[in-house]
Amino acid sequence: MKLVMTFVLLLASTGPALARDPVKFVYFDNFAPYSWKENNRMRGIFIDVVDEVIRTGMEIPVIHEGYPWRRAQKMVEANAADAFITVPTPRRREYTLISPEPVTTIAMTVFTSAKNNKLQEILKIRFVSDLKAFTAVDYIGNGWAR
């Protein structure tokens, strides 16, 4: 399965206002190699893309901040941050404008122990619905596992 990660923006205004004020991007602070906090500074692929496109290409100042993922999403929804990079979902479409251009695509992969006694069953997984028979580990704020 491939997930398309896109810029998801909540912008109160456009045009010249963006040139004056920095755009505040929030990220999951523990999602390497895409976004993580190191020495109190955000690093990763998402940060590099935003800097290249928004800061360099569009000459708009950018602030990068990292939080637990659920909190970052709530910040955009509450208009306490301007944007994040994530998978467009029906719920996020309720409170964001979504870029038509993907930032990246990610192949989602199931990982398990080679000694798992359900290995043969796991190897037969073809659809997300096939995962319902198993226990999955996920991070708080990621709706995918639901």
Q: Give exposure, 9-23, as e/b (b: 16+ Cβ within 10 Å).
A: bbeeeeeeebeeeeb
Q: Are 87 and 3 in contact (CB under 8 A)?
A: yes
Phi and psi torsions of 60, nearest 5°: -110, 130
Domains for the chain: give ranges and CATH numbers: 2-107 (3.40.190.10), 109-146 (no CATH)
> For position 10, what pLDDT does the model report?
44
Instruction: Using the structure block, give the residue that is written with the tokens 């000694």.
Output: 115
> For position 143, what pLDDT does the model report?
67
Give all strands of the β-sheet with 30-31 in edge-to-edge order: 30-31, 35-38, 41-43
Q: What are the pLDDT digits (tens) for 42-55?
A: 999 999 999 999 99
CA distance 27 to 37: 9
Say how many Å lie between the first and final Cα of the chain, rounded.
Answer: 16
| Cα of 83 vs its chain's centroid, Å | 10
Q: Are 139 and 35 in contact (CB under 8 A)?
A: no
Instruction: Say whether pTM exceeds 0.75.
Output: no
CA distance 8 to 95: 10
> For position 77, what pLDDT does the model report?
95
Instruction: Using the structure block, give the residue that is written with the tokens 């940060």.
Output: 47
Q: With a cut of 50, list the residues of the chain below it in pLDDT.
A: 1-4, 10-18
